[in-house]
Structures are given as structure tokens and as C-alpha cells.
Amino acid sequence: MQTNEQEVKEQLLAHDAEYARLFREHSRYESMLKELMDRPHLTDAEKVEEIRIKKLKLSLKDRMEDILHRHLQTA
């Protein structure tokens, strides 16, 4: 099932505009989060931003998973 899931993800990236957009946004938030995590110390504002980014990233991942599961069920 894991291979099938990966294949469907690749197909979605290539053919589903919404999934591809969500993936790009998720990747962008991942980069922003990594940048914050690489800092030795975070200000209070940066800590709040870290939490905000994590929530946004999780929301995007949930939406991507919903799309993936819909496609897996119809396959």
C-alpha cells in the first residue's frame, strides 16, 4: 500500500492543481520553520510565529491527506 500511496501522491502532484498548490505551500512553510529552528534563540514574537507556521503546515497536510484518501478510495 505504501508504494501505491507514493505513486498516487506523485500523480496528484503532476495532475491535481489544488494538491500541487497545497504541496508548494507546505514546502514553503517547512522552509520557514527550518529557518526559525536553526536560530540559537527565538524572540517571543518568533515563538508565536513558529506556532502559527506549525498550525498552517498541519492544516495543509490534513487537506493534502484528504485529497489523497479520496483518490485512494476511488482507485
Q: Is the pLDDT of residue 67 over 90?
A: yes
- Identify the residue whose cell numbers are 478510495: 73
Q: Domain spans of the chain?
A: 2-74
pTM: 0.88
Lowest-confidence segment of 9-13, 41-45, 69-73 by average pLDDT:
69-73
Q: Is the pLDDT of residue 28 over 60?
A: yes
**49 CB-side CA count, 13 A:** 13
In this structure, how many other beta carbons lie within 10 angstroms of the beta carbon of residue 11? 13
Residue 57: partners with Cβ closer than 8 Å, 6 or more residues away? 26, 29, 30, 33
Radius of gyration of the chain (CA): 15
pLDDT confidence bin for 3, thresholds 50/70/90:
low
